[in-house]
Structure 1
């Protein structure tokens, strides 16, 4: 019984350390009121060269937190959060910029998103023909 209690305590601490930032203080302190009324929105965005995430070489990764305020290592966190809110978190609904002209040079890039958007887990992957096409299609979200 004593070992079971130790494992439970260790696992509880691990869950709080890993999930606490994503789902609030309720995991870290059962019965405590959440520290925020906002659903969590914490994402890790990665971009790299290649046709898909499994074979691509990651080049850059940033974090993006959108609730209650925009933060993270993303260089344009406020703009990226505003774009995501504008499409309801639907990454495929991001609009291509008007008037952007890209070469047809094929140098594929892939972007991935993992995390939580407004309290729901998200996993997204999309390939583009080149970096210009990625930037034109995703606004400021993948411009890092």
Structure 2
């Protein structure tokens, strides 16, 4: 059998063989190799796979660009512009865990140094409604009355 890096299905016990750690056959050694030589993720393997269709539909209707990674890790966030020059707001979606998901809306930059932030959590099947609520909240921040009549 050809020695080389193990695959995920081999790690799960479908096939045990010599790997680069001098003929190791223990789960711990294979787990170590899997961490040293990670398999590339396919779209179906991302932590966002179950909610990506919802996020993609929201992004297509709401923002110009959906960002899908940050610091070479999976992420989901988008920026919404304000009405005034240089204003910017962000909506981000945390990775779903145990059928639950969190969304965070926040100000990135405002003309009057105002700080805004709100977080929502719910079941993954409610993500569309949560994203709509977060978008509506950002729009209230965007349309707020100018400070000091400016």
Q: Please give the TM-score of this superposition, normalised by the length of structure 2.
A: 0.25
Compute the TM-score of the two structures, normalised by the length of structure 1. Answer: 0.26
Structure showing greater relative contact order (alpha-carbon pairs closer than 8 Å, 6 or more residues apart):
1
Structure index of larger Rg: 2
